[in-house]
Structure 1
Amino acid sequence: MTPQASLQITDPAAARALRQHHAFLGLFVQPQSPSEVAARAGMAANLVHHHARRLTDCGLLFEQRREGGRVYFQLAAREFRVPMTLLPPGDAQGNGTADLQDLSDGFLRAYERSWALVHDGEEDVYGFGDAHQPAPPMTPPDAPSPEGHPAHLDRLTLHLSPQRYRQLARALSALLEEAQTEGHSAGGVPCTLAVLAFRAEDTPHRSLSRAVNSFLGADPA
């Protein structure tokens, strides 16, 4: 058996496996035994064999030959074609879902870290006072986080024409392109800047809504 030139994937499970194990599959462009790719895969040979067997069951690899007690696996095709509708965003691992989940998880970790640094040792106090002297409302302190890259969320909801929406989304993305062109800062640490633009659910009110949740504090002079 030899690899096909192109193979269309019709099974969602195979499409998920292809997306999840793309780098691992790339180790089997040529016939390889698990022991031959174990070091490059960063796995024990028996674990490589287990994953290769599972991907064979999905139709992404095939058993090319057995030789001297070794099993050699190879890609079932040089190219796999996956219809975009096979894994829609509603799928747990659908198109775009993984990207948004990674951003959401990353922001939550950054938020928790920034929150802990700012509010370490503090406590919430729920006072009710009395009829003559009501307790003041809770006002969380507005202190910047001491970390260099604290979490920052700035969300704006407003009514836009399609033309103005595209103009604004492209302008925001252009800022990220500018940062990409400038490249890494000397001595910098990894951080993620993201622009998320989408159509909100239609609401009857016309008020402008903005929510800022930031630990940046005041910009230095």
Structure 2
Amino acid sequence: MATPAQAQALLDFTYGARLLEKFMQPGTSSQAAHALAEPANRVAYHVRKLTDSGLLRVAGHQGKRVLYQTVAETFHVPRALVRLDEPLTLIEPVMQEITNAYAHAILAWQARQDPQAPNEGGTDLTVRLGTHHPADGSAAPEGPYPPAMRLRAVRLTPEQYQRAQAALDRILTELDTGDDAADAKQATFVLMTFPGHLHQH
């Protein structure tokens, strides 16, 4: 990896390495879009960017469709191309996108819960304390697809930490069945784990 443009393309949290992984074997941009559950035109745009930056190559054709494949399985990014002293430059764009999407989901959910709220379109945020918890300890959801955030610090051994990550991955993999039921709706889960406490620096 030799240029800032290549480093930026690779380290894009949404359409960098995550998208390149879909081309470990030759595939089309539409196949990658289906695998990522992303709009085909958006994925095609980023496939072109990765190709122009030299991270993807044309590997043949499938009828009229172009097959792409990643140029390598491992990329080494020189420290000079990554501002490692400013980690937010890597994570902030995707975190901002997640935050915006989550905030809109909360406002939309509250508007559905209380459409007659005396405010501008039901966009005030209501915070209720003492939410009822069933006997099994799980939070009681209110209405379909309530947005939820879980933040908890726990003490784990290295082995427990790895098992927890693997278990969470398995749950999401098992759920991702492509259910075509009439009431099925796409949902986003963001799972972040890291050693230490949120307020430790």
TM superposition score category, shorter chain reference: 0.3 to 0.5
Q: Which has the higher contact order (CA 8 A, sep 6+)?
A: 1
TM-score, scaled relative to structure 2: 0.46
Output the TM-score relative to the length of structure 1.
Answer: 0.43
Between Structure 1 and Structure 2, the one with more strand by share is 1
Which of these two proteins has the greater Rg computed from alpha carbons? 1
